[in-house]
């Protein structure tokens, strides 16, 4: 059975040469994909995201610097992001955030870039796509000391505890679950997916990374997302089709996607 779904976080432009964006998207559409948010990670990849969103139907874009590329931040880049963020198909700022599993860029540089992105999101009133690893405390304190956009955003590829999930939800954020929720050792995350409020959840591939079971170890692609939805539906004792409709509605709301997409 094919269920409709939205991939809330993908990197079609990072797929290997044998899976070009248009073909990967076609395969996903045959598997039920109705829309996809392609996420920028640095300046060039943000430009690519915008190009994809303006050439492939059902694709939307975000622009921003991944914490691993935070040292690229400059006033010129800020100007270009601000201008790209005004385009119709650009629906969020990110991925930004903090990843303290990296030694470089330094924490100071990552925090500076993250704060600039929060201000940019507020200025354009676009939601934030947050990448947070080993850094929840700092991410929360930065978010609490800034004014946030009217739709604050999403913690993408959420891998925190239920306590951290609660804090993100209290700040008005959504939680997006990736293929990690299907991994054998991720019982804690399945627990979070059971407890999460149904109006604040989304799903994503983060492709080409993090393929769900039974594709683990392969290049991930949006066509595999129904596996992740199936596991969450099982955990929540919901019908996968009904759950997916809820996830689609949530994703449309957060990113203000048009109904036709």
Which range binds Zn ion by CB under 5 A, 146-154, 160-168, 198-206, 227-235?
A: 198-206
> Between residues 95 and 235, which has the closer beta carbon with respect to Zn ion?
95
Q: Computed over its alpha carbons, how large is the radius of gyration of the chain? A: 17
CB of 9 to Zn ion, least distance (A): 6
> Between residues 111 and 206, which has the closer beta carbon with respect to Zn ion?
206
Backbone angles phi, psi at 241, to 5 degrees: -65, -40
Please give the size of the binding site for Zn ion, defined by CB under 5 A. Answer: 3
CB of 20 to Zn ion, least distance (A): 19
CB of 206 to Zn ion, least distance (A): 5
Which range binds Zn ion by CB under 5 A, 29-37, 137-145, 203-211, 245-253?
A: 203-211
Distance CA 6, CA 28 (A): 10
Among 69, 164, 206, 235, binds Zn ion (CB under 5 A): 206
When CB distances to Zn ion are compared, the closest residue is 131
> Between residues 63 and 233, which has the closer beta carbon with respect to Zn ion?
63
Q: Where are the alpha helices (DSSP H) in the chain?
A: 21-30, 43-55, 75-84, 107-124, 136-144, 162-170, 187-195, 225-236, 240-255
Non-local (6+) Cβ contacts of 22 within 8 A are: 56
Backbone angles phi, psi at 125, to 5 degrees: 50, 50
CB of 241 to Zn ion, least distance (A): 27
211 neighbors 179 (Cβ within 8 angstroms): yes
CB of 95 to Zn ion, least distance (A): 5
Q: Which residue has the tokens 């709301």?
A: 253
Q: Does 124 bind Zn ion (CB under 5 A)?
A: no
DSSP bridge partners of 98? 132
How many other CB atoms are there within 10 angstroms of residue 64's CB atom? 35
CB of 24 to Zn ion, least distance (A): 15
Could you give the C-alpha distances from 48 to 40, 61, 234, in angstroms and in order? 8, 9, 36
> Between residues 41 and 236, which has the closer beta carbon with respect to Zn ion?
41
Three-class secondary structure of residue 133 per DSSP: strand
Q: Does 131 bind Zn ion (CB under 5 A)?
A: yes
> Between residues 135 and 233, which has the closer beta carbon with respect to Zn ion?
135
Length of the chain: 261
Positions in 51-110 near Zn ion (CB under 5 A): 95
> Between residues 44 and 199, which has the closer beta carbon with respect to Zn ion?
44
Q: Does 111 bind Zn ion (CB under 5 A)?
A: no
Residue numbers at the binding site for Zn ion (CB under 5 A): 95, 131, 206
């Amino acid at each position: 059975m094919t269920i409709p779904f939205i991939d809330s976080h993908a990197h079609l432009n990072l797929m290997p040469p044998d899976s070009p964006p248009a073909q990967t998207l076609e395969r996903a559409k045959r598997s039920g994909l109705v829309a996809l948010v392609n996420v920028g990670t640095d300046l060039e990849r943000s430009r690519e995201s915008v190009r994809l969103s303006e050439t492939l139907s059902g694709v939307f874009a975000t622009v921003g610097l991944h914490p691993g590329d935070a040292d690229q931040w400059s006033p010129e880049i800020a100007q270009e992001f601000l201008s790209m963020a005004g385009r119709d198909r650009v629906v969020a700022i990110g991925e930004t955030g903090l990843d303290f599993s990296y030694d470089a860029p330094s924490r100071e540089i990552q925090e500076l870039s993250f704060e600039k992105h929060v201000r940019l999101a507020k200025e354009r009133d676009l939601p934030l796509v947050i990448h947070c690893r080993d850094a929840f405390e700092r991410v929360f304190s930065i978010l609490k000391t800034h004014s946030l956009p009217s739709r604050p955003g999403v913690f993408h590829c959420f891998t925190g505890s239920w306590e951290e999930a609660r804090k993100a939800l209290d700040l008005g954020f959504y939680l997006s679950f990736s293929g990690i929720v299907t991994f054998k050792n991720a019982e804690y995350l399945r627990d979070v997916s059971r407890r999460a409020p149904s109006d604040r959840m989304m799903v994503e591939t983060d492709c080409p990374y993090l393929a769900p079971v039974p594709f683990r170890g392969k290049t991930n692609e949006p066509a595999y997302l129904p596996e992740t939805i199936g596991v969450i539906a099982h955990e929540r004792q919901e019908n996968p089709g009904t759950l997916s409709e809820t996830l689609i509605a949530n994703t449309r709301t957060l990113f203000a996607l048009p109904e036709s997409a």
